[in-house]
Amino acid sequence: MTLIADDSLEFAGTGDAGFAYQFNGVKGDAEYISPVLDGGTAAKWGKVYYTVKGNITVTARSGNRELPGSDWTLWSQSIKSGTSPGVKSARYIQFKISFLNSSDATFYRVALNYKSKNERAKISNFNAGTRFADSKKTTDNSDTTSEISKRTITGKPDDENKKEIVLSWTVNNPDEDKLRYKLYFKNEKSDLWMPIFKEDYIYTGVRYTWDTSQTPSGRYELKLVADDSPSNNFSDVLKDEYISVPVEIDNHPPIIKTLVYKNGIITGSVSDDFSNIAAVMYAIDNDPFFYAECKDGVCDSTKEDFSFTPRPEPAEGPHIVTVKIWDTAGNFSLKELEIVFLK
């Protein structure tokens, strides 16, 4: 609120409502009641400072509803400039300026210091974008009466393991404080949370790509901590935590242990130290890759045997067969085998 005056005219201007008031002299007692002022949240009122000339008193009242009513305080005693307004802490406050039978009284300005009560930011969502999330959904027009498909279904990942996890989150921040985020991870079998950021690093974004290339294989939980330390004193800082569902990290490819060609059939075995084998593929010379089956018909274990007859049938003579095997984490191994095909 702003009040200005000179010797002949008096004006009162309010910013929130956007009004200007003109006074053409004051005769007898008169009052001006300010608009309701909003502290944003429950506020602790500091000292009131004002500038006046003549016989003027300033009083205040406060409440937690925008419209003054029975739940507001009564008007305070006259406030001395540089002192507390003498009303309870609340979200809203209002001032009354009383001109006491003084035609030459002039009110220039009033200022109130206050501190809003800190409100906790709440993490509403924390997503770890990994290939292990189940994103398969049944649509309304799905045909559930069809015969079971007899074609080979593979578990090959959509893309190669990038050795990173994209983390994103949303936060409800009622008082719009600047927030700092900390990220931690721990193995599902451990109680020790390890920081992803250095302690002195201040991260304020809501999306982070975590490099997992140096993280051992395993199932991990991720913890996000949000606090409002950039906007508050240490004693007033509030925080919230959110722990993700477990995510799997595996940066090691499967190991092709054996690869043999005999009697027109290629056989082999493969193992992985953490993830299941997802798909077995092969290519002859520079031809495209084709899928092959695991020996039991489904690639679904950390150890698998496989066998296949190269198709289409290669021309008679020497060839190079390249076997490519994927695990469910998107890691793959390649191994070549020189064969001589005879009809």
Question: Mean of the pLDDT values across residues 305-334?
Answer: 91
- Residues 168-184 pLDDT 10s: 999 999 888 899 999 99
Mean pLDDT for 35-43 is: 88
pTM of the shown model: 0.63
Residues 245 and 275 placed together within one structural domain of the fold: no
Say which residues have a Cβ less than 8 Å from residue 190's Cβ, sequence separation at least 6. none
The mean pLDDT of the chain is: 83
Whether 240 and 267 map to the same domain: the answer is: no
pLDDT at 146: 35
pLDDT at 16 over 60: no
Rounded to 10 degrees, what is the CA torsion of 230, 232, 237, 242?
A: -40
Give 101-138 as a DSSP string: S-TT-EEEEEEEEEEEPP---EEEEEEEE-TTS-----
Query: Is 261 or 116 the better-scoring residue by pLDDT?
Result: 261
Indicate whether 11 and 96 sit together in one domain.
Answer: yes
pLDDT (mean) for 227-237:
90
Can you give the pLDDT at residue 134? 36
Q: What is the mean pLDDT of residues 294-312?
A: 90
In a domain, 49, yes or no: yes
Out of 203, 231, 249, a domain closes at 249
Q: How much is the average pLDDT of 62-69?
A: 93
Same domain, 89 and 30: yes
Cα-based torsion angle of the residue sequence 110, 115, 120, 124 in order, rounded to the nearest 10 degrees: 20
Q: Do residues 304 and 280 touch, judged by C-beta distance below 8 A? A: yes
Cis peptide before 254 (omega within 30 of 0): no
Q: Tell me 68's DSSP state.
A: -
Same domain, 126 and 234: yes
**Domain of 317: which CATH number?**
2.60.40.650
Residues 208 and 101 in one domain: no
What distances in angstroms separate CA 79 from CA 35, 54, 104, 180, 313, one per listed residue?
A: 18, 15, 21, 40, 99
Whether the pLDDT of residue 343 is over 90: the answer is no
Question: CA quadruple 166, 172, 177, 183: dihedral positive or negative?
Answer: negative
**Three-state secondary structure call for residue 229:** helix
Say which residue, 206 or 149, is predicted with more confidence: 206
- Report pLDDT digits (tens) over 80-139: 999 999 999 999 999 999 998 767 788 888 999 888 888 888 998 888 765 444 333 333
Sign of dihedral through CA atoms 296, 301, 303, 309?
positive
Mean pLDDT for the stretch of residues 243-264: 91
Q: Which of 75-84, 112-121, 279-288 is predicted with the least confidence, judged by mean pLDDT? A: 112-121
Q: What is the mean pLDDT of residues 256-262?
A: 94
CA distance 136 to 155: 13
Specify the CATH number for the domain of residue 73: 2.60.120
Determine the Cα–Cα distance for residues 330 and 252; give it in Å rounded to an integer: 9
The answer, yes or no, to whether residue 199 has pLDDT greater than 60, is yes
Shared domain check, 80 and 46:
yes
Residue 139 domain flag: no
Assess whether pLDDT exceeds 80 at residue 268. Answer: yes
Is residue 200 over pLDDT 70?
A: yes
Q: Which residue segment(s) compose the domain that 203 sits in?
A: 122-130+156-249
How high is the pLDDT of residue 186?
95
Provide the pLDDT for residue 176: 86
- Who has greater pLDDT, 321 or 30? 321
Q: Are residues 235 and 284 in the same domain?
A: no
Final residue in a domain of this structure, among 203, 233, 249: 249
Q: Which helix (H) or strand (E) holds 164?
A: strand 164-172
Q: What percent of the chain has pLDDT over 90?
A: 55
Q: Which helix or strand (DSSP H or E) is residue 220 part of? A: strand 218-227
DSSP-assigned beta bridge partners for residue 50 = 110
Q: State the pLDDT at residue 289.
A: 93
Cα separation, 33 vs 58, in Å, equals 10
Q: Quick one: pLDDT at residue 15? A: 47
Kindly tell me if the per-residue pLDDT of 47 is higher than 70: yes
Q: Is residue 69 part of a domain?
A: yes
pLDDT tier at 27, thresholds 50, 70, 90: low
| 1 pLDDT above the threshold of 50 | no
Count of structural domains within the chain: 3
> What does the pLDDT read at residue 138?
30
